Amino acid sequence: DTGVSQNPRHKITKRGQNVTFRCDPISEHNRLYWYRQTLGQGPEFLTYFQNEAQLEKSRLLSDRFSAERPKGSFSTLEIQRTEQGDSAMYLCASSLGTRGPGNTIYFGEGSWLTVV
Amino acid sequence: DQQVKQNSPSLSVQEGRISILNCDYTNSMFDYFLWYKKYPAEGPTFLISISSIKDKNEDGRFTVFLNKSAKHLSLHIVPSQPGDSAVYFCAASALGSARQLTFGSGTQLTVLP
């Protein structure tokens, strides 16, 4: 399977704990995105990387959130001191990063976070 | 401010008939539009896309129509099959935004056998 891979698929954590999600993008894709989705809503953009550089962050990404892509391949999203409002599906996606309109973004299966 | 809107939260269609899902947008800078299909507890799966230089794109049973003047696009599925039952998201991107996607809130399509 050469699609976007995310793990863990499900995580239940107590409020105040830290969690980390990992994403492996499609191998030739240089652009990597993180989105968050809550029930009844479409995915919302959090941040994106062009290779190893984090170039844009949404205002949704509070100081408790940090994302890395150390070698321009896989990425991690860490949430510190989790709150119940962080409960959501965290989606990773990747694309070739073309500037033109043909930049199709492919999503992984998501990581469900439940904060209790 | 919701830049991409899907005003119908749900749609039911008989198997074999046409499903039409609608999407409106407000940002005139959007130049690339995509439809994704999503099953519960899974990530969105890319379905079909259209560039703003076109008004129609077809892929098998799926056709997307774009009306730039009305800032409206639609996804037609013909014929509809029970396996098409899922949530469909409309998404749009603009040049200079890292091509990040802005999504609508989705339409739950149910195809009845």
Under the banding of pLDDT at 50, 70 and 90, the label for residue A99 is: low
Query: Chain A: nearest CA to B11, how far in angstroms?
Result: 15
Of A73, A115, A54, A71, the C-alpha closest to A90 is A115
Q: φ and ψ at A100, to 5 degrees?
A: -70, 175
Q: What pLDDT does residue B45 have?
A: 94
**Is B13 in CB contact (< 8 Å) with chain A?**
no
Q: Residues A80-96: what's their mean pLDDT? A: 95
Chain A interface with B: residues with Cβ < 8 Å: 4, 6, 31, 33, 35, 40-45, 48, 50, 55-56, 89, 91, 93, 95, 97-99, 101-110, 112
Which residues does chain A have within 8 Å of residue B95's beta carbon, measured at their own beta carbons?
99, 101
Q: Please give chain B's pLDDT, 113 residues, in tens.
A: 789 999 999 999 999 999 999 999 999 999 999 999 999 888 999 999 999 999 999 999 999 999 999 999 999 999 999 999 999 999 999 876 677 889 999 999 999 99
**Is B105 in CB contact (< 8 Å) with chain A?**
yes
Q: Is B1 helix (H, G, I), strand (E, B) or coil?
A: coil
CA-CA distances (angstroms) from residue A1 to A5, A27, A108, B86?
9, 11, 11, 23
For residue B14, what are its two tokens?
Answer: 């008989």
- C-alpha torsion sign, points A3, B50, A98, B36: negative
Q: Which residues contact B61 (CB under 8 A, 6 or more apart)?
A: B77, B78, B79, B81
The answer to whether the beta carbons of residues A94 and A26 sit under 8 Å apart is: yes
Neighbouring CB atoms inside 10 A of B53's CB total: 10
